[in-house]
């Protein structure tokens, strides 16, 4: 089943198995990942949020569990930089082609290095944004890492 987003196009082209999980997004929600985890009944440690950060002025895509937070110092170190901060939302949207709350680690408009928290490999399947609010992908972490070109590092905190 395809959700019709750049992320699902990447998966379809690679002939990778995945499941699309739609949910009724509330436009007043401010924590998109927590909303998705609650509405889909998924453990927040298994649902990953996608954050775009600037590491020494270059964009990096960080994938961390909804149950935790992004450790910016750890991200900077893992990305080979000195300083990291969350990217300007407009820059993140332009670079990825997605809206905030719907940024997927797959199918970015521009090439962006992807770093996933090491905990991603603890699960048989994980959930990430499918590329729009109200739509999540469930897939094997190995497929996500391979197709996004991601490396793993301990970049999340509990």
Residue 41's pLDDT is 95
In a domain, 52, yes or no: yes
Residue 123 is part of a domain; what is its CATH number?
Answer: 3.90.960.10
Structural domains in the chain (count):
1
Residue 10 resides in a domain: yes
Q: For 20, phi and psi rounded to 5 degrees?
A: -95, 130
Instruction: Judge whether 1 lies within some domain.
Output: no
Q: Are 27 and 79 in contact (CB under 8 A)?
A: no
pLDDT of residue 1: 40
Domain that holds residue 26: 6-157
Instruction: Answer whether 0.85 is exceeded by the pTM.
Output: yes
Split the chain (158 residues) into runs of 10 and give each run's mean pLDDT: 79 96 87 91 96 95 96 97 96 94 94 96 96 94 97 93
pLDDT at site 9 = 95
């Amino acid at each position: 089943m395809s959700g019709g987003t750049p992320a699902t196009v990447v998966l379809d082209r690679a002939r990778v198995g995945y499941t699309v999980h739609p949910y009724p997004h509330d436009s007043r929600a401010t924590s998109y990942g927590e909303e998705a985890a609650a509405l889909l009944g998924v453990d927040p440690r298994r649902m990953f949020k996608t954050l775009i950060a600037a590491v020494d002025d270059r964009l990096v895509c960080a994938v961390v569990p909804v149950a935790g937070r992004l450790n910016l110092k750890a991200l900077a170190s893992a990305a080979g930089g000195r300083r990291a901060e969350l990217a300007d939302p407009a820059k993140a949207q332009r670079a990825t082609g997605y809206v905030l709350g719907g940024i997927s680690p797959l199918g970015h408009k521009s090439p962006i290095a992807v770093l996933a928290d090491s905990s991603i490999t603890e699960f048989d399947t994980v959930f990430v944004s499918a590329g729009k609010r109200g739509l999540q992908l469930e897939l094997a972490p190995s497929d996500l890492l391979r197709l996004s070109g991601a490396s793993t590092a301990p970049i999340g905190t509990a």
